[in-house]
Structure 1
Amino acid sequence: MSRSTVGVLALAALVLPLTAACVDNAAPGDAASGTPAGSLTVSSTADGCEVSSATAPSGTLTFQVTNDGSDVTEFYLLGEDGLRVVSEVENIGPGITRDLVVQARPGTYYTACKPGMVGDGIRAEFVVTDSGEDVGPTGDVAAQLATAEQQYVAYVKDQVGALIAGTQEFADAYQAGDDEAARDLYAATRVHWERVEPVAESFGDLDPLTDAREADLAAGDTWSGWHYIEKDLWQPAAADNGGEEYVPLTDAERTQAADDLVGWTQELVDQVNDPAFTFEAFQISNGAKELLDEVATGKVTGEEEIWSHTDLWDFQANVDGARVAYEVLSDVVEAEDPDLAATLLERFTALDGLLAAQGSVEEGFTSYDELSDQEVKELSTAVDALSEPLSQLTVVVTGA
């Protein structure tokens, strides 16, 4: 597909009091002490989320998050309402430390660890005081990044416009019992969602309501959204359903599922088209890495579309989003680190080539369960090769 029509990824909410960035072990350092400026440590355990301080001065902050528990964990910085995801770092395995770098303006936030990556997390208030220093870029770089942000806002609005139209058509077919039509529409419509998923993640519960997998559910959770309907359209045999016969949704349940999906998608559209909606360049670069993490932890494994096996559509959408995120920031990257720019272009091209060998969004992809082990390995290796230099993008863009 042409790059003028690929999806854009953003990490944004309604006017946020900070800009945020997530990088792996690449925090800005204090040359004298050898420690990151504004460094805070976080220890995540099964029942604790210990942050070394509940306050910090505005400016560049680095949360060094260590998983001291036995389950995979996540760490979030939330807005004052406790719902908006300002920034996050996911999939932190036991014994692993990952860094979350944010450029924080004064305000009240909440920190949250989510052991097991389920539930609301273990939260605490976090206050950023006014240091009196400017936060964010200045001069020519600021102007370049402002242009990138404008391009992203326009594209995200375009993507969610396509998403709501496709979702309504999909929901109408599903509700009417036209399963063949609904199955044909499913993957191509979800491409628009996957391209902007981090935007939805920033708006409270929209993402889990709309896109939770069955494996993501905690005890007592009610399942809904795309994958809830996916399972009903590609009904599993008992052997693939925990040994239990799958019970198809009733007409009333279908109607409710379809109406909910359209309603939550419209809420995303409304949020994005709110005049106050914005996001900053640091969030764009953060989102590029997050999308590659999505590919590595869900798409390559075949766990995202476990019933339909349409993972390659999602895979392509995530890669497109990451590439566009880089491309709108590329003027700054090429000026500050031309070697990184060249490496990213080379590795995006290589990964796109592997995906193109399996099909396209327009013409369709190979079913993921039909890929050979070697093909999966090649895709995984290419994702890892791109993910490493992409993790450096935020540091270059922020000048940290």
Structure 2
Amino acid sequence: MPDIELAPGLECLTRRVDTDRFGPFVFEVGVEAARIKLALQRAEDTHDRFIASPFSQVANQLEREVVVSSVFGTNTIEGGKLSEDETANALMLDPAQVKEIEQRRAVNIKAAYDLSQQVARTAGWSLNREFILEVHRLITQQIPHPNNQPGKLRNNPKHHITYVGDEGHGGRYKPPQYGRDIDRLLDALIGWHAEMERSGVPGLIRAPLVHLYYELIHPFWDGNGRVGRVIEATLLQAAGYRYAPFALARYYLANIDSYFTLFNTCRKAAEKGQAWPNHAFVEFYLEGIRQTINTLQDRVNQMTALLLFESKLHRLLEEKRINVRQYTIVSQLLGRRRAMPLDEIRQTPWYTGLYLKLNDKTRQRDLRHLREMELVFLDTHHNLWPGVIRPQNIKPLGKKQI
């Protein structure tokens, strides 16, 4: 586990910035090392087990699923209306053919993810202004907004005040309004992150802290949440973590009230001079990483089991231990990744075609054989399951099958 004994030199990692109009702004690690160590250890251990998994055969499919899920999650947090299936369909479109704003939002996030992955793989890369501006440009391009300019920092005109948050999530917060203050604070955030990096602060600590302070600066008119989550994910990817950095968006969506409230909780704790003001957000983040990686591990196990099952099915067909009809039945169930009611199966063209010239006895024998070999399961509600999914309420074998 990375060394997080930061307490002796903690004051060296605090940076105060005196702005022109906003007042003093303080960056600090703000976590209690002794208390955070267990959460960090659990997250690290979970990640170590995950990367030791034999998931090379399913890596591409896992990455596609993570991208769709995370684009859906981060977009929905900010008010996106697409369902997860609609998000997947949008990401398959040629960007030049995207016309609908909701689809554009999803495609833009994917473009920012692509940039994130590219820079995270670049040796020696560190967080910089150009990257942040480009992420914002990609995320907000061709999306109408009365004030936002893609890739341009916010500079509020007089009497046009930006507020963040609401009373239901800890209150409204007035971030810096003056462009010069925002510009100065963004540079300070980048410099402070570089200082943490040089000091050996683990990526699992740096990423949420940068996310937290970035959102408090709130440097753009639109897209701040999406940009902040991409920055956070990029820092974690650059530190050697795979899949989880973007998949974490679903954890934030599932815990959206806590996610929004914690920004204000930490801000208010710092304003009151409380010790370790950022601890709650970092702890929340580490628990999210742990849960996210466990979910990914479960999905890898499912996909690996499916590959092994499909390989077994092919082998049984080649060895003539099952016939083409039986192979087709199981393959159709696998393609749906779910159970099918027997009545529904009976009415499908592919099934009626299989037994068009065969009698009921043959149908019964085929199904019984599949059940005996546990290539399919029949439950007590007369649903047929592919053998890779074992239902709890399996119907005992009997004479009447289907």
Work out which structure has the larger RCO, using CA pairs closer than 8 Å and 6 or more positions apart in sequence.
Answer: 1
Task: Pick the structure with more strand per residue.
Answer: 1
Structure whose alpha-carbon radius of gyration is higher: 2
- What is the TM-score of this pair, normalised by structure 2? 0.28
Q: Which protein has the bigger helix share?
A: 2
